[in-house]
Amino acid sequence: MTAFSPEIQVAIARTRDDVARLHEELVRYELVVWTGGNVSGRVPGADLFVIKPSGVSYDDLSPENQILCDLDGNVIPSTPGSDRSPSSDTAAHAYIYRNMPEVGGVVHTHSTYATAWAARGEAVPCVITAMADEFGGEIPVGPFAIIGDDSIGRGVVETLAGHRSRAVLMQNHGVFTIGKNAKDAVKAAVMAEDVAKTVHISRQLGAPLPIAQSAIDSLFDRYQNVYGQEPTGALK
């Protein structure tokens, strides 16, 4: 088994606990069905991340069966969970971690309203203050990409590079989100679905009104740096 320092072993264990528990949040907020979707978390202080095993019921996920990978997406042998195949999107998560060092967590879902926007290849426009707060603008669309290699990860990174958004709608597929940590990425996934639903409904009733860019900037700054008890600032 690979020898990790006691500090890294503790960090790995905490990341396993966090990632396993955060998968429950995807179910709680009704962002996934069956075994769809996934959460990963970077291990602080190491070139490692933890991700769920592929196709395993959310009811059966535990810290012990999460899978430890290096940043190339290779499973670390002889570690808990390494007897199973990692998520289908492991390469995508790994690409994001390699190319966005500020990212500590990645989430993928097929949540209904956000994926409906992705199916049309249409960005969710920033027409509600909740979007300005959370995403600093629209939720952009990334390219259609096949599953299993660097295609999705490259599409996520190239699309988000020019955006304050922590969420991207991968065309015809679903939502990928990033965060300071896995919990922050899960929050982005929850909020992306919420605003996608609201804006969809608004558009059924008429033409939503735009928000001035200066107001979007002000709202984003306040929410990221003032809102709540101990704001830590935007990811980017």
Ligand X SMILES: O=C(CO)[C@@H](O)[C@H](O)COP(=O)(O)O
Beta-strand pair 167-170/141-142: parallel
* Shortest spacing between CB 170 and ligand X, in angstroms: 9
Query: Which alpha helices (DSSP H) does 61-108 contain, by range?
Result: 90-99
For ligand X, the closer CB: 34 or 229: 34
| Cβ partners under 8 Å of residue 194, min gap 6 | 130
- Judge whether 110 counts as a catalytic residue: yes
Q: Which two tokens stand for residue 104?
A: 């500590």
Structural contact between residues 78 and 1, judged by C-beta atoms closer than 8 angstroms: yes
112: closest CA among 192, 23, 203, 58?
A: 192
Q: Which of 18, 23, 113, 173 is catalytic?
A: 173
- Interface mask toward ligand X for 32-71; x: CB under 6 A: ---xxxx-------------x-xx----------------
172 touches ligand X (CB under 6 A) = no
For ligand X, the closer CB: 54 or 202: 54
Q: Which two tokens stand for residue 159?
A: 């699309």
93 touches ligand X (CB under 6 A) = no
For ligand X, the closer CB: 126 or 186: 186
Stretch of residues binding ligand X (CB under 6 A), selected from 6-14, 66-74, 82-90, 122-130: 82-90
For ligand X, the closer CB: 79 or 109: 109
What distance in Å separates the CA atoms of residue 59 and residue 54, rounded to the nearest whole number?
A: 13
Phi, psi of 186 (to 5 degrees): -65, -40
Q: Name the site residues for ligand X (rule: CB under 6 A).
A: 35-38, 52, 54-55, 87-89, 108, 110, 147
Residue numbers annotated as active site: 108, 110, 133, 173, 227
